[in-house]
Amino acid sequence: MAAILHYYGFHISQLSPMGMVRIHYFEFICRMQGLEPSVDKFRVFYQLIRNMGFCSFALRGAKKILINPPKSFHDWKIKFFFIREEVILIALIFRESYVIEKEDLPIPKGEDWYLRLLAIPNSVFGEQVLVADGMSDKWLAHSKEVPVLLFKGEVSELYQSAFPTFGGAMGVRPLGDGEVF
């Protein structure tokens, strides 16, 4: 997130909720495939746009990786809050100009990382994926159990195991003595 904000030169408060969803989802998909997310990889799929006064990202023309994005975020402006500058590790620039030049980038069809991102099944990821990514608001922070990924009934380190498509599932294990959730 920080690298993308820095690259495009705008402040997090200028980013639309949908733009934030696209960035976070892209990061999750990369990590699920064992890839380090980067601005260059992100730019293959998305281009910066201005939408209703905010910065956001539109599909560049490569494969759509956010299959079923939320249709809208009703009443998000009343839930807006400020983040103290000290908690953000990079200097963010408040973009003054909304002149956005269209970038024409080649799609790296032969690159290994691109082919791995193309291999993601076209399906909607459910609650189990949110739990695996630490994004679920349904998992209690004071739980005495820890979510784990199961593949063929065994605990797995692979994000792919969380998806039924790959034969995996979510499970739980008890919180260990002295282990912080």
Query: Average pLDDT, stretch 108-135?
Result: 70
Q: What is the domain partition of the chain in residue ranges?
A: 2-118, 127-174
User: Which structure tokens are listed for 155?
Assistant: 């605990």
pLDDT at 42: 92
pTM of the model: 0.62
Beta-carbon neighbour count of residue 46 at 10 Å? 20
93-120: pLDDT as tens digits: 777 666 677 777 788 888 888 888 876 6
The residues, ordered by sequence, that sit 6+ positions from 132 with a Cβ below 8 Å of its Cβ are: 147, 149, 159, 162, 170
User: Which structure tokens are listed for 49?
Assistant: 């746009």
pLDDT at 45: 87
12-41: pLDDT as tens digits: 888 888 888 889 888 888 887 788 999 999
pLDDT at 69: 60
Pick from 27, 92, 11, 9: which is nearest to 66 by CA?
27
